[in-house]
């Protein structure tokens, strides 16, 4: 799960990671009001969306007057912001973060994430941070260092010093970076984060370190035990189809291809997608309908798959273990009739009562292609999608 920058900065404050003073605004009037409350002679107006790359597309603006804050707020609120990290339709800007402008001496990069290869949390740091960190990673990877934290030993002083030297920090800044890293580490563990990123981490004119941007992702598998984090969820920033799927207990993820996939079991769904690709096709989605499938779920699954205009053919791959194949076949027929599925549907069933299931699906007069073997089913669905495309 993702949260907004303003929420991440609230969590940073709880863990003593220094952030600029600021507040969230949902109207231009409120934005001006907040700026007045903050005082000073310059403010940053930042679009709150669940994506980075805002700076490059006008999602972060520096204002010198109340009139400018009003203008920028009117400009951004209610718009959809398209950045390098969003899809072509972008994400809705429903709120802004208003902060004082800080004079930037230099921009650095610091993040903490799970390194699956070493099975440890790992800090990534670079003295060259800011909006072009991707270019740094690409062209001068030696400028980026990493530090692995042993889970039993915890974060060690020498590890913070290694990062401090890499960032070119001096004197009291060593103490400051140690506190920031410890705060990130504590926050990561306490809230079951999966990534914390500060880009840029800045040095101000007076040498202070400050998290100018804040991005936190959380582990969805642990979110249920963190109601405070769950309360920060903003459904407007997520895929509509994925939200809808959640309501029906379906596990759905939109992809770019044209072959809809309906499978029970996440592992089988992954294997099915692999096979579709192996046969030269591209899956339009990942969809796990779960163990106890029924007609309603199958109907909802079809609706989800077909609400994607790219879908040219559907592959249903269901293993009847908990539910029997004939019950599933019935569900598929019902769903296809109920919601008028027009595209060809290849169905591969296996498991209990598979013969009865296949019997039900043959000679229906509908656009259904029963298959008895998964490789063949994948080949068939790819051919059917190509024939339509
Ligand atoms: P992102 O592009 O979505 O990652 O948004 P950021 O929060 O990182 O902001 C992008 C850029 O805006 C930063 O790299 C800074 O250069 C600039 N910026 C943001 N806040 C301030 C500020 O308080 N003062 C100044 N001078 N620049 C800022
Ligand atoms: Mn940033």
Catalogue all structural domains in the chain, each as residue range(s) with its CATH number.
1-20+103-237 (3.30.470.20), 21-101 (3.30.1490.20), 239-388 (3.40.50.261)
Q: What spacing in Å lies between the alpha carbon of 43 and ligand 1's midpoint?
A: 11
**In the structure, what pLDDT confidence band is assigned to residue 292 with cuts at 50, 70 and 90?**
confident
Q: 166 with 201: CB under 8 angstroms?
A: no
Active site (annotated) includes residue 139: no
- Name all residues whose Cβ lies below 6 A of ligand 1: 20, 44, 52-55, 60, 99, 101-102, 104, 107, 130-131, 199-200, 212-213
Residues of the chain with pLDDT > 90: what percent? 76
Instruction: Ligand 1 pocket test: pick from 9, 60, 97, 199 the residue with the most ligand atoms within 8 Å of its Cβ.
Output: 60
More confident residue, 137 or 164: 164
CA 17 to chain centre: 24
Full 3-state SS string of 17-80: CCCCCEEEECCHHHHHHHHHHHCCCCEEEEECCCCCCCHHHCCEEEECCHHHHHHHHHHHCCCE
Averaged over 171-189, what is the pLDDT? 97
Angle between helices 354-361 and 325-338 (to 10 degrees): 20
Q: Over 90: is that where the pLDDT of 217 sits?
A: yes
Least confident of 5-19, 306-320, 326-340, 343-357: 326-340
pLDDT for residue 340 = 85
More confident residue, 243 or 269: 269
Of 212, 222, 235, 188, which is closest to residue 2 (Cα–Cα)? 235
Paired residues of 319 in beta bridges: 350
Q: Over 90: is that where the pLDDT of 241 sits?
A: no
Q: What is the mean pLDDT of the chain?
A: 93
Using one digit for the tens of pLDDT, what is the confidence trace for 256-269? 999 999 999 899 99
């Amino acid at each position: 799960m993702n949260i907004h920058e303003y929420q991440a900065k609230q969590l940073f404050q709880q863990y003593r990671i220094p952030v600029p003073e600021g507040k969230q605004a949902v109207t231009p009037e409120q934005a001006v009001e907040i700026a007045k409350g903050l005082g000073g002679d310059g403010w940053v107006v930042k679009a709150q969306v669940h994506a980075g790359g805002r700076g490059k597309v006008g999602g972060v603006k520096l204002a010198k007057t109340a009139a400018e804050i009003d203008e920028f707020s009117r400009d951004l609120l209610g718009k959809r912001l398209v950045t390098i990290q969003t899809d072509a339709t972008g994400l809705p800007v429903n709120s802004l973060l208003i902060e004082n402008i800080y004079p930037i001496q230099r921009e650095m990069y610091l993040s903490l994430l799970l390194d699956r290869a070493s099975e440890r949390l790992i800090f990534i740091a670079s003295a060259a941070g800011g909006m072009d960190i991707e270019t740094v990673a690409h062209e001068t990877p030696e400028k980026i260092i990493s530090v692995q934290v042993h889970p039993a030993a915890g974060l060690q002083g020498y590890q913070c010093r290694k990062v401090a030297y890499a960032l070119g920090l001096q004197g009291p800044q060593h103490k400051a970076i140690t506190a920031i890293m410890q705060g990130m580490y504590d926050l990561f563990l306490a809230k079951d984060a999966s990534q914390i990123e500060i880009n840029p981490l800045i040095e101000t004119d007076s040498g202070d370190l400050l998290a100018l941007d804040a991005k936190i992702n959380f582990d969805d598998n642990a979110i249920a035990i963190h109601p405070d984090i769950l309360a920060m969820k903003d459904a407007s920033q997520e895929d509509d189809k994925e939200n809808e799927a959640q309501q029906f207990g379906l596990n759905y993820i939109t992809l770019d291809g044209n072959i809809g996939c309906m499978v029970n079991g996440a592992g089988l769904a992954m294997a099915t997608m692999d096979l579709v690709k192996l046969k030269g096709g591209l899956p339009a989605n990942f969809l796990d309908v779960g163990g106890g499938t029924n007609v309603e779920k199958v109907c909802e699954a079809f609706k989800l798959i077909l609400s994607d205009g790219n879908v040219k053919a559907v592959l249903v791959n269901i293993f009847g273990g908990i539910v029997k194949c004939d019950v599933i076949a019935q569900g598929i027929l019902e769903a296809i009739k109920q919601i008028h599925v027009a595209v060809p549907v290849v169905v591969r069933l296996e498991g209990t009562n598979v013969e009865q299931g296949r019997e039900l699906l043959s000679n229906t007069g509908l656009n259904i292609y029963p298959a008895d073997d998964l490789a063949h089913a994948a080949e068939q669905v790819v051919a059917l999608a190509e024939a339509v495309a």
